[in-house]
Chains A and B, each alone.
Chain A
Amino acid sequence: MTLDLTTSAQDMTVSQSRFRNALLDPETPAPDGLVTPEGTHAEKRFGVYRNNVSHSLASALVDGFPVLTKLLGEAFFRQMALVYLRIHPPASQLIMHYGAAMPTFLVGFPGTVHLKYLPDVARLELALRRAYHAGDAEAIAPADLTQLDQATLMDTRLVLAPAVETLTSEFPALSIWEFNMQDGPTPTMQAETILISRRGYDPVAQRLPLGGAVFVNALKKGHAFGTALGLATSQVADFDLTATLSALIAGHGIIKIEKG
């Protein structure tokens, strides 16, 4: 595939792959055939463009990972972003989802490899972003849940909002997030299971009790209430259904009650 760059004097073509390679590697000179209106090699113009590409992508990462930026300091994060964007250039034109490979990148990046909790913080920030951009859905009136008798309830499917997902972290990922974003208390080491959802236009993250992710993910797969409850209690005998349902209701996570 070629990119036509027509000048007043002559028609020249630059291959798209060479343009892209030069864009991502500052050591590579501007591709031959890239010329100014005067017919000279457009080295400087290409350099400006190249810098703006990396600057804007690094800025997108700063915007998308505010807690990582705070944890690492913006100077470090921006330098790291320049490395990231060259290994993981955008795979989609949807810039709001840029940075999806950050969790795995952080595991291998020498400057962050010792901060074992960072990948889960990145996962949480990505999940909050996905929730922000997920489809709209109106939550049920919570009282509707109390209208079902036990037999009906077990066969009923609780349909969850598109924004709903869970994150299971062996670190206090949400406490770290709250510490940096909401002046929360200093995190102490503990595993956290997190429910991500959206209330109105605002993504929210809440803690789930043990087994909560199993229950929520079963509902998300379309399993009936009774099946989801069975899966959760088989893994966690004293599974806290009240706390899990309460988080789902508070997070506007249930959008439909489908009787079996």
Chain B
Amino acid sequence: MSQVKSIAILGAITAAVAANATAALADGDQEKCFGVALAGQNDCAAGPGTTCAGTSTVDYQGNAWKLVPAGTCETMELTDGGGMMHKGSLEATKMNLPAS
């Protein structure tokens, strides 16, 4: 490997380390976050489902096809390489449920 290239590599490392010199100082803030990070993922199934709030009435209508996405997907206009829009549709989508 040429001398020039080795200098470039070591320089890249020095630059990467330098770029993080100030970031390392901010790590003292980390601990306050751990209790809330990705809340629910240790015990998410121990919540509502265990309260017996459910009734015996069948809640499964399998009627997702009657609904259309109504979240922030409507606010993004993303196209793929072919220029096709991937924006969410407000049209009801007819669907066939996969056999379970």
Contact = CB atoms under 8 A, between A and B. Distances in A.
Contact of A59 (B19, B44, B57, B60): B44
B100 to A, nearest CB: 5
Q: Chain A binding site: helix, strand, loop or mixed by DSSP?
A: helix
Q: Chain B binding site: helix, strand, loop or mixed by DSSP?
A: loop
Interface string A153-182: 110000000000000001110001001100
Interface string A239-258: 00111111011100000000
A129 B14 CA distance: 32
Interface string B55-86: 11111101111011111110110111100001
A44 to B, nearest CB: 4
A229 B5 CA distance: 12
Contacts of B10: 146, 150, 153
Interface in A161-209: 170-172, 176, 179-180, 186-189, 199-203
A114 interface: yes
Interface residues of A, number: 86
A129 B41 CA distance: 8
Contacts of B37: 132, 201-203
A76 B65 CA distance: 9
B83 to A, nearest CB: 9
A72 interface: yes
A45 B43 CA distance: 24
Nearest to A154: B1
- 7 closest A-B pairs by beta carbon, nearest first, are A56-B49, A110-B95, A47-B56, A201-B34, A200-B30, A51-B54, A73-B70
Interface of B: 1, 6, 9-10, 12-17, 19-21, 23-24, 27, 30-31, 33-34, 37-42, 44-45, 47-50, 52-60, 62-65, 67-73, 75-76, 78-81, 86, 88-89, 93-98, 100
Interface of A: 24-26, 43-48, 50-57, 59-60, 63-64, 69-77, 79-80, 82-83, 86-87, 95-96, 98, 108-118, 128-129, 132-133, 142-143, 145-146, 150, 153-154, 170-172, 176, 179-180, 186-189, 199-203, 229, 241-246, 248-250
